Copies of this chain bind each other. A is one copy, B any other.
Amino acid sequence: MAEVTVSPEAFLAMGREVLAAQPFSRLIRAELAAFSRGRCELHVPVSESVKQQHGFVHGGVVSYAADNALTYAGGSALGMPVVTAEFKINYLRPAIGDRLIARAEAVHTGKTQSVCRCDVFILKDGEEKLCAVAQGTIAALSPKT
């Protein structure tokens, strides 16, 4: 079977279509900044509505960004519909800034699952600071359901 070559632009456009189909990702205005096989960069612009009581980005939003970036990295590495099977996140510092940037990449990809890592940065005054690191397993959708 011939493998269809997808241009980088088409690949990113495809990823953005999936993100746009997620009501929750629209709700928090997540953006797919970069997307290629086994790699992803996901942004969440910081608005009042994604914060917690101290003015930091809510941990749940940071974990959303990590989770979704891991899924994109693993899903594109596997080349099939996937779900996040599990992940772990360490929060390193309060996320205070203008934009959350999650960069994930597949570390090892088998037939039905991919183990990925993610770094989450907070952009403030043009400077990125690492605010969380995550690691998790992305699994092909079929064996899970």
Q: Which residues of A contact B (CB under 8 A)?
A: 18, 21-28, 48-53, 58-61, 63-65, 67-68, 71, 83-94, 107-108, 110-113, 115, 117, 130, 133-137, 143-145
Contact = CB atoms under 8 A, between A and B. Distances in A.
Contacts of A130: 107-108
Contact of A24 (B22, B61, B89, B107): B61
Copies in the complex: 4
B88 A25 contact: no
16 contacts: A18-B53, A21-B53, A22-B51, A24-B58, A58-B64, A59-B83, A59-B84, A60-B64, A85-B90, A85-B91, A86-B89, A92-B107, A107-B130, A107-B133, A117-B117, A117-B135
